[in-house]
Structure formats: C-alpha cells, structure tokens
Amino acid sequence: MRINISQKKVRDQFVAKVEELSGQKILACYQCGKCSAGCPAVSEMDILPNQVIRYIQLGLKDELLKSNSYWVCASCLTCNARCPKGIKIAEVMEGVRQILLRKRKDRIHIPKLTDKQKEEVPQIALISSFRKYTS
Ligand code: SF4
Ligand code: SF4
C-alpha cells in the first residue's frame, strides 16, 4: 500500500482527537513493538498495535480507519502493561473506535448474530463486541 505523509496530515485534528479521547500522548511512542509482541489478537489484525500508533502519529486517518485492528482489539490490556512509555494502547484503540461509533458506524451487528454464532464466538469477543455497539 502506498502511503503519503505530509505536514498537513501530521497536524490534522485527528491526532488531537484521538489524544483527547484516549487521554494518551501518542507522540511518546518510540515504536519498540512490545505492545504488538504481547497482543493475543494480532493474528486477526491487518496492522499491528504499534502500527496503529504510528499511523496516528503520522496523521494517516483514512488509512487507519480502513484497518480492522481497532475493532479486533479485545481490550485485554496486555499492551498497556507492556509499554515502557506508559502508553495505554487499549485506550487509544477505544478512542479510534469512539470516533466511528459517535458517527453510528458499527462494525458488528449483534442482533444479526445467529444462536449458533453466539455459542461459537469466544465470550470475551462477545462481551467486547457489546462495548463496540451503538444501536
Ligand atoms: S488491548 Fe487490544 S491491542 Fe492491546 S494487547 Fe489486548 S487485544 Fe491487543
Ligand atoms: S509498547 Fe509503547 S512505546 Fe512500544 S511500540 Fe507499543 S505503544 Fe509504542
């Protein structure tokens, strides 16, 4: 994927909005990757948690919002415990989700899940999904 970086993007309100919603200093991340190394959900993510942070740092809003990673995040908080900079990545993921949820853009439509799907989905994923549902 080709990515264009510009001063305009880096200074975009998106970066400030994610910082405001998450309460985290995104620019403090120095890309050590420890968050991604401990994340149990990376196999289902199209970009890694540290890359989510990097995309935000660079103001790559459109590219990030196309990703599935912040939806897949199960809010297990492992990354928060591992970050040497004290960044709460789970809160950053939640901040990105909130930007879309406030526009009523859901990823999962819980009422449409069949009983079989509800039985098969891991409970942590189901509970986590309720937190990402607006309707
Ligand atoms: S909170 Fe989300 S990003 Fe962090 S380790 Fe858990 S699943 Fe991965
Ligand atoms: S562990 Fe912290 S400093 Fe390291 S890449 Fe993840 S968010 Fe950045």
Instruction: Give how far Cα 130 sits from Cα of 29, 112, 115, 117, Å.
Output: 29, 13, 16, 15
Instruction: Give how far Cα 124 sits from Cα of 6, 41, 51, 76, 92, Å.
Output: 39, 12, 24, 9, 19
How far away, in angstroms, is 117 Cα from ligand 2 center?
A: 34
Q: Cα 49–122–101 angle (5° rounding)?
A: 55
Closest ligand (CA of 40): 1
Domain boundaries, the chain: 7-106
How far away, in angstroms, is 122 Cα from ligand 1 center?
A: 15
Using alpha carbons, select from 92, 90, 88 the residue that is nearest to residue 17: 92
51 close to ligand 1 (CB < 6 Angstrom): no
Residue with the smallest CA separation from ligand 2 atom 8 is 29
Ligand 1 atom at minimal distance to the Cα of residue 80: 4
Tell me the pLDDT tens digit for each residue of 12-26: 788 889 999 999 999
Tell me the pLDDT tens digit for each residue of 71-127: 889 889 999 999 999 999 999 999 998 888 777 666 667 777 888 887 887 776 677
93 close to ligand 2 (CB < 6 Angstrom): no
- Name the CATH topology of 7-106: Fumarate Reductase Iron-sulfur Protein; Chain B, domain 2 (1.10.1060)
